[in-house]
Structure formats: structure tokens, C-alpha cells
A = this chain, B = another copy of it.
């Protein structure tokens, strides 16, 4: 196959075919297509173009004598061409209301309503990866005794997120001793982000003076232990039922697979985690989702930031054949709103 840039006409046709297939769900045939889109071309010519596009890998046929449907490569072309122009659309007709955010205080509720909104507006499944605490700034640390050997390590971040972890000690420590640790840790660590603490601060503090060395050492040990295997940030999902009215999902087995994938969350989290590190809106189409084959599904996601660090992801899961014009700006815009909000909140 010869590599070749699409010429203008081919590009137009390809976009229109993908668009048509997205809205109807039926393979696009030459005759009705030229008519509907008033191309001043005969069906025969259209067939030739389609044939070329098929050769180049943008289209395929479910069977001989059926119309064409886009391949993943075809969708990819379509989305990319959208991204060039969608920004002007972004604020129009998209109903994410910023005030909604400021009314709520608790972060989990905020994200729940964001995910709900995404699903309601897009009519697909909304997803959000909660902010990775790594980049949030410690405000307070408290260690509380549970049983003789078990303590609860609590970090409060400046955003009001509470991270807590049970830690089992090798020897019992009483609560008064724990208070000392808490005071020491709060004094030394507040104002720093978790990632700074993990990567360097703990080790620097190992030699700090002006504190009983034993308190210092045990306190830092507990901190290290508590931060070691940090809990994966939660994923919120809403609108799973929207996956059901995806026309391509008639085969129950496919649907089960998708549901299992979504419920399982680990794989989804891994994928989201990767997306977090990309800039802006990112789209995973069909088989491009490498970890697992989720049939007929695409993910459109945007990482959001606190300041300059991308800390989480919002987006939607929908059918590969989906309404990209609407969804891409929606997800992008939502990401920006969340970024602004969180950045504001942390100041």
C-alpha cells in the first residue's frame, strides 16, 4: 500500500462518512450518501473514492456489498480534524455551570456531581479520576492510637482532603508519645507536597536536631510506612446505564465485558493514570486501548491540574461511534473548569 496524504476531497468525504456513520450506525453506501450530503458527484465516483479510502485503511466493509464503516484509523482522522477547530465551539451550548462547583465544599461531592453532569450532558458514561494527593500540600498531620500496636496516620491537605492509613507498629506506643510525633511532623512537613516529602524531605529530616532523636526517628519511620503504598486515587463513574442504549452493544457478551472492565476499576485506573500525564484532551479509540480490548468503546478524557501539575482526569466512556463534536469540547471544557477551581481552591 502506498502512503499518501489525503487530498482535500478525500478528507471531506472521509469526515462526512464518519459523521454519517456516527449518527446512523449503518454502513454508508455510495448512492444514498451522495444524495444526502449533496455531493456533486455520481455514486460511481463516490465508490471509487471509497475504494481508495479503504485501500488506505480509513474505511472497511463488514461484508461484500455492504456500505463502508470507519476503521479506528478513520475515527482517529475524524477526531484529529475536529480538534483543530473545536475551540471556538467550546463555550457554546455546553452547560457545565461553574457556580455549581463553588457551592459544594467537599471534594468527593464535587466530583460526583461533575461525573453526573458529564454523563447527563453527553448521554454516555462519565468518569473521573480523583486528584492524586501527591501534589497537594500538607496542612496537618495527626497520629492516633487505635490498639496497642495499631495507629492511624492522618494527613490533612490544604484542600481539605483527608488521607488516612492504618499502620502497625513493631512495639506499642502510647497516645502521649504519638502527640509528640504529630507535633513534630506537622511542624516539619506542613507546607510541602507529598511528593516532596516522599522523595527528599524524609531523608533530610533524619538528621535534624532540636528534637529527641528517638521521636524523630520513629515519627519519620511511621510517615515513610504510611506514605509507602499510597492508596490509589478513587474513580467515580456515573451513567453506566447509558452504555446499554449503545446500538452496537446488542451482543450481551460484549456488554458484559465492558461492564466487567468498568467495575474492575484497576485497569481503568491504569489507563486514566496514563492519560493524566498527557496535556489536554486525549482520545483513546477502540483498539488503541491497549491494556484490554473493550469492544466498540472509546475514552475521551482530559487531565486537570492544580497549578501546573496534572493531578487527575475527567472524561467519558462511550461507543467508538460517538458524537465527538459534542463530547470533545465538553470534556475539554470540564477539565479546564476543574483545573481552575482546584487551583483557586488551593491558593
B-contacting residues of A (Cβ < 8 Å)? 105-106, 139-140, 142, 144, 146, 150, 152, 154, 156, 158, 160, 162, 164-166, 168, 238-241, 244-245, 252, 255-256, 259-260, 263
From known contacts A168-B105, A240-B240, A241-B263, infer whether A158 and B139 are also in contact, taking CB-CB under 8 Å. Answer: no
Within the assembled complex, what's the spacing in Å between the Cα atoms of A16 and B30?
Answer: 59
How far apart sit A160 and B241, CA to CA, in the bound complex (Å)?
Answer: 35
Closest chain B CB from A112 CB (angstroms):
10
The distance from the CB of A164 to the nearest CB of chain B, in whole angstroms, is: 5
A166 contacts across to B, CB distance below 8 A: 105-106, 160
Nearest Cβ on chain B to A106's Cβ, whole angstroms: 6
Give A261 Cβ to nearest chain B Cβ, in Å. Answer: 9
Q: Are A263 and B239 in contact (CB under 8 A)?
A: yes
- For A238, the closest partner residue in chain B by CB is B263
Complex Cα–Cα for A122 and B150 (A): 35
Determine the chain B residues whose CB is within 8 A of the CB of A142 once the complex forms: 142, 144, 154
Please judge, given known A-B contacts A105-B168, A139-B146, A154-B154, whether A244 and B252 are in contact too, CB under 8 Å. Answer: yes
Specify which of A238, A240, A241 lies most central, judged by the most chain B CB atoms within 10 Å of its CB.
A241
- A241's partner among B144, B152, B164, B260 (CB-CB below 8 A) is B260
A244 touches B239 (CB 8 A): no
Interchain Cβ contacts under 8 Å between A and B, 9 examples: A105-B168, A139-B146, A142-B142, A142-B144, A152-B162, A154-B162, A162-B164, A244-B255, A245-B256
Contact residues in B for A156 (Cβ distance below 8 Å): 144, 146, 152, 154
Select A139's contact among B144, B238, B244, B256, beta carbons within 8 Å. Answer: B144
Q: Are B240 and A263 in contact (CB under 8 A)?
A: yes
Among B160, B164, B165, which residue has its beta carbon within 8 angstroms of that of A146? B160
| A281–B156 alpha-carbon span in the complex (Å) | 40
CA distance A140 to B239 in the complex (A): 38
Instruction: Pick from B164, B241, B259: contact of A256, CB below 8 A.
Output: B241
In the complex formed, the residue of B with least CB distance to A151 is: B160
Residues of B within 8 A of A260 (CB): 241
Please name the residue on chain B nearest to A261 by beta carbon.
B241
Query: Bound complex: CA of A106 vs CA of B166, how far in Å?
Result: 7
Task: State the Cβ distance, A323 to closest chain B Cβ, in Å.
Answer: 19
Other than A105-B166, A150-B160, A244-B252, give 20 A-B pairs with Cβ distance below 8 A: A105-B168, A106-B166, A139-B144, A140-B144, A142-B142, A142-B154, A146-B156, A146-B158, A152-B156, A152-B162, A154-B154, A162-B162, A162-B164, A238-B263, A239-B263, A240-B240, A240-B259, A241-B259, A244-B255, A245-B256
Considering the complex, give the chain B residue whose CB is closest to the CB of A106.
B166
Compute how far the CA of A108 lies from the CA of B106 in the bound complex, rounded to whole angstroms. 19
- A151 to B164, alpha carbons, bound, how many Å? 17
Q: Tell me the nearest residue of chain B to A159, going by C-beta.
A: B146
| Assembly CA distance A268 to B239 (angstroms) | 16
Chain B residues with Cβ below 8 Å from A168 are 105
For the complex formed, measure the closest distance between the CB of A336 and the CB atoms of chain B, giving whole angstroms. 24
Give Cα A142 to B106, complex, Å.
18
